[in-house]
Chain A
Amino acid sequence: TQLLEQSPQFLSIQEGENLTVYCNSSSVFSSLQWYRQEPGEGPVLLVTVVTGGEVKKLKRLTFQFGDARKDSSLHITAAQPGDTGLYLCAGTDSGYALNFGKGTSLLVTP
């Protein structure tokens, strides 16, 4: 099993602040996905990155895949209370099975 470490584990910020969460591994992944999960619900896919160095933007969210395809980051600009949730990264090497990190729990207060 390829381990993914996410940091920080918890993050509490005020509305309007910027933040970055990280997903690191010693293994190479063919693709890496970011999910957001709200309490009592299943994870919802935000983005998939497949190319080393790739940067994808989704409104105020910016995702980057490391050049060596071992790590990724998620940057949120001007966070809003609606961004509150558990952010999970997951990588796959083959066969489509995902290895998830433990997640970063984000709380954005008004």
Chain B
Amino acid sequence: EAEVAQSPRYKITEKSQAVAFWCDPISGHATLYWYRQILGQGPELLVQFQDESVVDDSQLPKDRFSAERLKGVDSTLKIQPAELGDSAMYLCASSLHDEQFFGPGTRLTVL
């Protein structure tokens, strides 16, 4: 069964360092999403891609976060510099129509 792949699964970093997360969506899914989920909360959308184009990045803290999907397939989310408050689960999802399929997430801990 096709799945959304994410790596790494866990990342521990110190504040002010740079981190990057990778997502490979289900083959053929044009829409890709990055969400952030703080412990005890629901996921919050950071950025949405349609193919290689950004559709919505209104909730992305652009002073430190960046996201790209250069070839319209896999995607990278970067944080530079990381802050203590960035500790969270970062989830990637993809969709062909309106049903979204989530990856296992990357658990980020900033020390």
A residues in contact (CB < 8 Å) with B: 4, 31, 33, 35, 40-45, 48, 88, 90, 92, 95-98, 100-103
Contacts and interface: CB of A to CB of B under 8 A. Distances in A.
A96 B33 CA distance: 10
Most chain B beta carbons < 10 A, residue from A41, A101, A102: A41
B27 interface: no
Contact of B107 (A40, A95, A97): A40
A35 B98 CA distance: 14
Given A42-B103, A96-B31, A102 B98 contact: no
B66 interface: no
Contact of A42 (B31, B97, B104): B104
B42 A88 contact: yes
Interface residues of B, number: 25
B104 A98 contact: no
B43 A43 contact: yes
A37 to B, nearest CB: 8
B104 A97 contact: no
Contacts of A95: 48, 55-56
Interface of B: 4, 31, 33, 40-45, 48, 55-56, 91, 93, 95, 97-105, 107
Contacts, number: 56
Contacts of B40: 102
Contacts of B103: 42
10 contacts: A42-B4, A42-B93, A42-B103, A44-B102, A45-B100, A88-B43, A92-B98, A97-B45, A98-B43, A101-B42
Contacts of A31: 98
A102 B39 CA distance: 10
A95 to B, nearest CB: 7
A92 B100 CA distance: 11
